[in-house]
Amino acid sequence: MSLSTPTGARRFYTEIGSLVDKRVYVRLVDGKVYRGVLLGIDQPSLNVVLGEADSEGKRFFRVIINGSRISEIVVEEIPLFDPEEFFNLVVQRLNINPANVKVYKESGSVVILDRYRVSENGVEGSGALANKIFDIWQEYMEGKKSKRS
């Protein structure tokens, strides 16, 4: 993936944005490591804010790290939401034509009828169908969480 193309840059920033609220560790260029929940990221500079962080045995409420000091950001948890798995579930449970459901792996989401967006964060949209989709999503996520425990 090249950041020199608009598509490459868009995909990179989408991927970076999807890390928010995930447990990560951030290694600095000097080798120091911070672990915590990624609360925010300034995409142009890659400055990050970690919450509930620790480093070298010390706990911190918040840590703000300058992007120029970051060597790598590693996600410590595997996402619960699998868009392809959810696609199959929603097509089966709602009897929707698969052509009306799109999977976007890069953003970890599913779009149903060009109206409802579903991701690990929930269901975007409103109305009776959105409520049915939410019920399926909630059952799916609870099942995934119980398998992880």
Residue 77 has what pLDDT?
74
In this prediction, residue 5 carries a pLDDT of 62
Q: Max Cα separation, the chain?
A: 54
Sheet arrangement for strand 122-124: 101-104, 109-112, 116-119, 122-124
What is the C-alpha to C-alpha distance for residues 30 and 70, in angstroms, rounded to an integer?
Answer: 9
Residue intervals of the chain classified under CATH 3.30.310.60 are 83-148
pLDDT on residue 149? 66
CATH class of 6-75: mainly beta
pLDDT attached to residue 1: 43
Q: Which residues contact 110 (CB under 8 A, 6 or more apart)?
A: 83, 86, 87, 90, 101, 102, 103, 104, 117, 118, 119
CATH 2.30.30.100 range(s) for the chain read: 6-75
Q: What pLDDT is stored for residue 2 in this prediction?
A: 47
- Block means of pLDDT (10 residues each) for the chain, 149 residues, are 62 78 92 95 91 96 96 86 95 96 88 94 93 96 84
Please give the Cα distance from 44 to 10 (Å, whole number).
12
Cα→Cα distances 138→34, 86, 89, Å: 32, 11, 12
**Tokens representing 119?**
């991701």
CATH class of the domain comprising 83-148:
alpha beta
